[in-house]
Structure 1
Amino acid sequence: MQRYFIDPGQIDGGAVVLLGEDARHLAAVMRARAGEKFIACDGSGRECLAEIVNIESGRVEGRIVSERASEAEMAWRVEVAQSLPKGDKLETVIQKGTEAGASAFLPFLSQRTVVQYDARKEAKRLERWRKIAKEAAEQAHRGIVPEVGEVASWKALLARFGGYDRVLLCYEEEGRSGAGLRPELETFARRPREGADPASRPSLLVVVGPEGGFDEAEARQAEAAGAVCVGLGRRILRTETAALVALAAIGYESGEMGEARHV
């Protein structure tokens, strides 16, 4: 069944409306007809099953049959900060990372970033990245569309570390020494959350470097800002692979694969 993320204002009482590209996709590409059903998500975790009652050019109207809260989100809120990689690798990180459960993506520039950043092209690229996140969220039956932030400087990224319960910097030197991700996740799962809102999800930021990784100075700066340097095993991973490996490990430890969920 087709799923679409829409603006909350497109859900009114017992009715929902698809507009623009979503409406054209359902009507022209999927050849939907009155009486058929689709799912509309408002991006905050609310899902509505709707029955089509009217189809017009660029507009599909539906009657809400039922509503429910999404059950597709991870127990922990995990965001990925990814140093800009070459080519279309960030698109892969966003697409696959969305499928794996990431809540947001924060592109940034670091010492060994190879890409020549062009601010004039950013708006167009950011629009494409966000479209990829939306389409991947629909495909993966997510309850939210992950946020994709504007490209930030290393200094600006460091300043954000205090907003998370834990920041994990993927650093290959830690992998060589055997200081892996697993012990940190086990500790994180057991930590007390005194004073925390019971309704809020624990938050993690996974920070991944560019093709050449982080230099030692950056690792020390990250630690000073509150991050923990972790390895992802003894093998050297491509930059577009690292975040996905970390997300899989986090998903397992948080109970994503069927164990009790740690909150």
Structure 2
Amino acid sequence: MQKYFVPPEQLTEAEAVITGEDAHHLANVMRARVGDSIKVSDGATREATATVAEIAKNRIVARVDELHPPTAEPAIRVTIAQSLPKGDKMETVIQKGTEIGAVRFVPFVSERTVVAYDAKKETKRLERWQKIAKEAAEQAHRGRVPEVEAPLAWKQLLQAAGEADAAFFCYEKEAGSMLRTALRSAIASRGGTDGMRVLLIVGPEGGFTEREAQEAEQAGCVPVKLGARILRTETAGMVGLACVLYEAGEMGG
């Protein structure tokens, strides 16, 4: 069953109104017909199972059959902070991270980031990333679309890390705790995972420098390992995210 996100004012107890590109997609790509069932969400606190009642150009009205709170959102809220990778790898991180259950993505620039950051292209690229997050959220039947923020400088990211209940940075040279061990300790200290905010920081293709590792620890971030194998930058975030959600009981754990 196809799912679409609409502004809160377009989802009432009686009907859901889908407009713009989503209406075009539903009518012309999915070839919806009156009587078809769809899912609609306001991206926040409500979602509905609805039946298509009216199809017009760039506007579809569906009758709400059942309205209820979102059921697919994890109780633990994980943000992936990803050092800007080469090519279209950031798109992969956002798409797959959204499917798995991340609630927010924060790109950042670190010492070994090889991507030439161009502020002039920022708006267009951010719009594309947000669109990818929205489409992935619809495909995965998420209850909300994850936030995708504009890239931060390393120092800015470390300042923002203090807002999380627990912040971990993946460091291949870390000889200490595995992510599972550090996460269990953080959960025990907090007394549970409900509403817990976790920041998972992933470095660039060349990894973090020793100076960045020291700065991260000074900012309260915990260095962790994801295993004995060296992962690609676009893989590390997905593995870390899945581990966090599994440990929190969100993936059958």
TM-score in terms of structure 1 length: 0.93
Structure 1: runs of 5 or more not aligned: none
Q: Deviations over 1:210-263 (max 9, x none)?
A: 10010011111111111001111111110000000101111110002324xxxx
Q: Which residue of 2 aligns with 1:159?
A: 159
The code of the aligned residue for 1:192 comes to R
Q: Within 5 Å, give how 1:205-220 maps onto structure 2.
A: 205-220=199-214
Shift of 1:199: 11
Structure 1: how far apart are the matches of 2:60 and 2:183? 45
Q: Deviations over 1:17-63 (max 9, x none)?
A: 00011101111111111111211111114211111111110000111
Alignment-mate amino acid for residue 107 of structure 2: P
Write the mapping of 1:171-250 to structure 2, written as runs, cut at 5 A. 171-174=171-174, 177-193=175-191, 201-250=195-244
| Cα distance, 1:248–1:28 mapped onto 2, change above 3 Å | same
Structure 1 position 179, deviation (Å): 2.7
Higher mean Cα deviation, 37-46 or 145-154?
Answer: 37-46
Question: Does the 8 Å CA contact 1:178/1:234 hold for their aligned counterparts?
Answer: no
Contact preservation (8 Å) 2:187, 2:193: no
Counterpart residue number, 2:68: 68
1:92-103 correspondence runs (5 A):
92-103=92-103
Q: For residue 6 of structure 2, what is the amino acid of its counterpart?
A: I
Q: How does 1:81-100 map to 2 (within 5 A)?
A: 81-100=81-100
- Residues 1:25 and 1:128: Cα distance change in structure 2 (over 3 Å): same
1:120-157 per-residue CA deviation (whole Å, 9 max, x = no partner) reads: 11111101100110111111111110000001111111
On the 8 A contact 1:15/1:62 being kept in 2, the answer is yes
Match of 1:116 in 2: 116
Q: How does 1:247-262 map to 2 (within 5 A)?
A: 247-259=241-253
Deviations 1:94-119 (A, max 9, x none): 00111111000000100000000111
For residues 179 and 76 of structure 1, the distance between their equivalents in structure 2, rounded to whole angstroms, comes to: 21
Contact 1:126 1:150 in 2 (8 A): yes
Give secondary structure in 1 for the equivalent of 2:63.
strand
**Which secondary structure does the structure 2 equivalent of 1:160 belong to?**
helix
Unaligned runs of 5+ in 2: none
Please tell me whether the aligned partners of residues 112 and 214 of structure 1 are also in contact (alpha carbons under 8 angstroms). yes
Counterpart of 1:148 in structure 2 is 148
Q: Percent identity?
A: 55
Counterpart residue type for residue 17 of structure 1: V
* Letter of the structure 1 residue corresponding to residue 180 of structure 2: R
Q: Report the residue type matching 2:164 in the other structure.
A: Y
Cα–Cα, structure 1 residues 200 and 8, in superposed 2: closer, same or farther, change >3 Å?
farther
Displaced runs of 4 or more, over 4 A? none
- The answer as to 2:17 corresponding to 1:23 is no
Match of 1:58 in 2: 58
TM-score (ref. length: structure 2): 0.96
- Looking at structure 2, the residues matched to 58 and 257 of structure 1 have their Cα atoms a distance apart, in angstroms, of 37
